[in-house]
């Protein structure tokens, strides 16, 4: 049967059962496409978006799993590294005296100079400054001696069991003010060395606690001003 345009213009939906088969087929096709489009838009499209999100989440979790697996495999090596780091830190910490050992360290520095035959014109500990877990004390030093003895003194300082650094080294002939006595004259080959030695010590538990309280108080005070 040939389908005509008039068949669509004269459709009586009340008598749809008597419609020609081609017209029924076209109407069913249109109804199917309309249903499919509405279902895709309202049902399947959000489901596809959820599926894409789930796939991305799965990939992310897979990467996390692989990273955790790698860490678990290397856990023994990490533990060994931590043991070695703690040992190294312990050795370095022992090179920092506590408050009770500072006087002995200052004596060691002084004895290192006297042991090389140097004459101290100045040995003045300065104001201590504190960092996170250690304190730094500068010591202004001026000594007289030969070039060889001054070099040996610096070497002896570097070999002390405690950490001491020499900073702002200045070496001149004789006294810095230009006055030359018999011992500190250029003809004797004696030099005057001015240097700032810095020593370090670790803060004890009480000092660290007090430091944190002071920092917190200062932070709270600045916060109230703001």
Residue 86 resides in a domain: no
Residue 44 resides in a domain: no
Residue 122 resides in a domain: yes
Residue 183 resides in a domain: yes
Structural domain count of the chain: 1
Which pLDDT does position 143 carry in this prediction?
93
For residue 217, what are its two tokens?
A: 């108080």
Residue 41 resides in a domain: no
Which pLDDT does position 155 carry in this prediction?
93
Residue 162 resides in a domain: yes
Taking only the tens of pLDDT, the chain with its 226 residues reads 444 545 555 555 555 555 666 666 666 777 777 776 766 666 666 766 777 788 888 888 888 888 887 777 777 777 788 878 777 666 666 666 666 677 888 888 899 999 999 999 999 988 888 877 778 889 999 999 999 999 999 999 988 877 888 999 999 886 545 444 544 444 457 899 999 999 887 777 777 777 778 777 777 777 666 5
CA neighbours within 13 Å on the CB side: how many for 193? Answer: 25
b (16+ CB within 10 A) / e for 176-208: eeeebeeebeeeeebbbbbbebbbbbbbeeebe
For residue 105, what are its two tokens?
A: 């360290």
Q: How far is CA 186 from the centre of its chain?
A: 51
Q: Give the domain extent around 138.
A: 99-207
Residue 214 resides in a domain: no
Which pLDDT does position 176 carry in this prediction?
45
CA distances from 12 to 8, 9, 23, 30, 34 (A): 9, 9, 11, 17, 20
For position 152, which CATH number holds? 3.30.70.60
């Amino acid at each position: 049967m040939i389908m005509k345009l008039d068949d669509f213009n004269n459709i009586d939906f009340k008598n749809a059962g008597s419609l020609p088969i081609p017209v029924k087929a076209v109407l069913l096709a249109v109804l199917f496409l309309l249903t499919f489009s509405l279902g895709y838009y309202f049902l399947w499209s959000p489901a596809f978006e959820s599926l894409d999100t789930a796939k991305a989440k799965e990939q992310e979790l897979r990467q996390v799993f692989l990273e955790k697996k790698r860490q678990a495999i290397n856990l023994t090596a990490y533990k060994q590294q931590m043991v070695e780091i703690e040992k190294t830190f312990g050795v370095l910490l022992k090179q920092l005296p506590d408050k009770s050992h500072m006087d002995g360290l200052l004596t060691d520095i002084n004895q290192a100079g006297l042991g090389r035959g140097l004459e101290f014109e100045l040995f003045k500990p300065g104001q201590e400054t504190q960092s996170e877990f250690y304190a730094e004390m500068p010591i202004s030093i001026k000594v007289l001696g030969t070039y060889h003895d001054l070099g040996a003194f610096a070497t002896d300082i570097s070999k002390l069991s405690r950490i001491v650094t020499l900073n702002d080294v200045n070496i001149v002939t004789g006294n810095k003010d230009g006055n030359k006595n018999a011992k500190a004259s250029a003809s004797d080959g004696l030099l005057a060395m001015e240097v700032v030695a810095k020593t370090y010590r670790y803060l004890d538990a009480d000092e660290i606690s007090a430091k944190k309280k002071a920092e917190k108080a200062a932070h709270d005070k600045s916060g109230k001003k703001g």
